[in-house]
Amino acid sequence: FLSLVGFMYVDDMDLIRLCDHTDSELITEDLQLTLQYWNKLVKVTGGALEPSKSGWYCYGQSWNTTTGSYDFKDLGSTGDIVAKDKDGKQVHLPFISCHSAQEMIGIKMTPTGVHTEQFLSMLEKSK
């Protein structure tokens, strides 16, 4: 049984970590390790992460048989996630609530799939 419990949006790329537990401290460590590997891969190809376009989520989801949909719950930020920028300087990435929309490639999205903020943004732009 796997739960989607860790998710990072890193410079126009989603890094997803599936775990069989909901221990937020272990999830944070797993996410940091995943990001370190990704940082090295990007560097090998001559690129670098853009920390200002990055953030991370730590949440759990469970099926609600009453509503017929998933319930999402932030598991909290029990530690820091750090990335290296183009100059090799370590930068702390912000923790983001799974209920908070972030703009990704021009679209405001949440891991929960709620599109309210995107709808409001499009409505405002149409005025």
HEC profile of 23-63? CHHHHHHHHHHHHHHHHHHHHHCCCCCCHHHEEEEEEEEEE
Burial label for 113, CB within 10 Å (0-12, 13-18, 19+), is exposed
- Per-residue confidence (pLDDT) for residue 123, from 0 to 100: 92
- Per-residue confidence (pLDDT) for residue 2, from 0 to 100: 43
CA distances from 114 to 104, 108, 124 (A): 14, 10, 18
Element (H, E) at 103: strand 102-104
**Mean pLDDT (10-residue bins), the chain, 127 residues:** 52 71 82 87 83 84 90 83 89 91 83 88 90
Q: What is the pTM of this model?
A: 0.76
* Contact call for residues 126 and 33 (beta carbons, < 8 A): no
- Per-residue confidence (pLDDT) for residue 6, from 0 to 100: 54
Residues 6 or more apart whose Cβ sits within 8 Å of residue 11: 49, 50, 51, 53, 54
And the tokens for 23? 């221990």
- Per-residue confidence (pLDDT) for residue 67, from 0 to 100: 93
